[in-house]
Amino acid sequence: MLLASLMAATQAYPLIVAKVWEPRTQTFYNNNVDYAAVLAQQPDAYASQASALFHYESDGRIRQYPGPAFQPGAEHRTLTSEVFAATGLETQPWSGLINYQRHGALPYVPIAQGLAWLEVGDEAALKKQFEGRMVLVGTTFDDEDLLEVPVPLAAWMQNRTAIPGVLLHAQVLRNMIHDELLQPAPFPVSLALALL
């Protein structure tokens, strides 16, 4: 059933699956070979599987875009870069600090709600929520797959800075869409400011 759904989905729209890093073995979890084969039949303009790995700072928080410097084998393709590439927008070698000050907290649509709309044939509700948008699917539990960020980002987890990983990917995508990743000032500028 899942294989058939994947095949249908890849015919209708771009589908990128996260490669999840296993720290214990220092490798990515392997996706089912059949699923990987179906995903790989998509266009070469984007990778159908890409790293969801983030880099933690010394205080355990995530501030950097997880580019090649933070990926195994200096891989330049990340989940967010490939979702962005799949939209057909112009890509670039992404780098910098994640801008957390833009756009505010993120809400989510429970998958049960989406399935309920689908079950009753409420096409208007589905289109209103999802048409023409990048859609990320991930867990939003209060105690699973949580990542520490500098500011609260989950609209339903008031004042908590430990957020579901899917929201961090969404924030990075918002930065990419609006070209808002923060770049460090050139060294001469930093030195001049320090002297001032």
| Structure tokens that stand for 98 in this block | 């994640």
Quote the CA–CA distance of 28 and 8 in Å, as a whole number. 26
Average pLDDT over residues 27-55: 88
Please check the confidence at residue 34 and state whether its pLDDT lies above 90. Answer: no
Q: What is the DSSP string of the chain?
A: -HHHHHHHHHHHS---EEEPEETTTTEEPPPPHHHHHHHTTS-TTS-SEEE------TTS---B---GGGSGGG---BHHHHHHHHTTPPP----SB---SSS--B----HHHHHHHHHHT-HHHHHHHHTTS--------SSSSEEE-SS--BTTSTT--EEEHHHHHHHHHHHHHTT--B-PPPHHHHHHHHH-
Cα 113 from chain centroid (whole Å): 22
pLDDT of residue 98: 97
**Across all residues in the chain, what is the average pLDDT?**
90
Quote the CA–CA distance of 172 and 144 in Å, as a whole number. 20
Please check the confidence at residue 1 and state whether its pLDDT lies above 70. Answer: no
Quote the CA–CA distance of 62 and 97 in Å, as a whole number. 9
47 CB-side CA count, 13 A: 15
Q: What is the pLDDT of residues 116-145, one digit of tens each?
A: 999 999 999 999 999 999 999 999 988 888
Orientation angle between helical segments 79-86 and 165-177, nearest 10 degrees: 50
Largest Cα separation within the chain, whole Å, is 65
Q: What is the pLDDT of residues 6-16, one digit of tens each?
A: 888 888 889 99
pLDDT of residue 171: 97
pLDDT of residue 43: 87
Prediction pTM value: 0.89
Q: Let me know: does 68 contact 75? Beta carbons within 8 Å.
A: yes
Please check the confidence at residue 23 and state whether its pLDDT lies above 80. Answer: yes
Q: What is the pLDDT of residues 150-192, one digit of tens each?
A: 999 999 988 899 999 999 999 999 999 999 999 887 777 777 7
Q: What is the pLDDT of residues 48-82, one digit of tens each?
A: 999 999 999 999 999 999 999 999 989 999 999 99
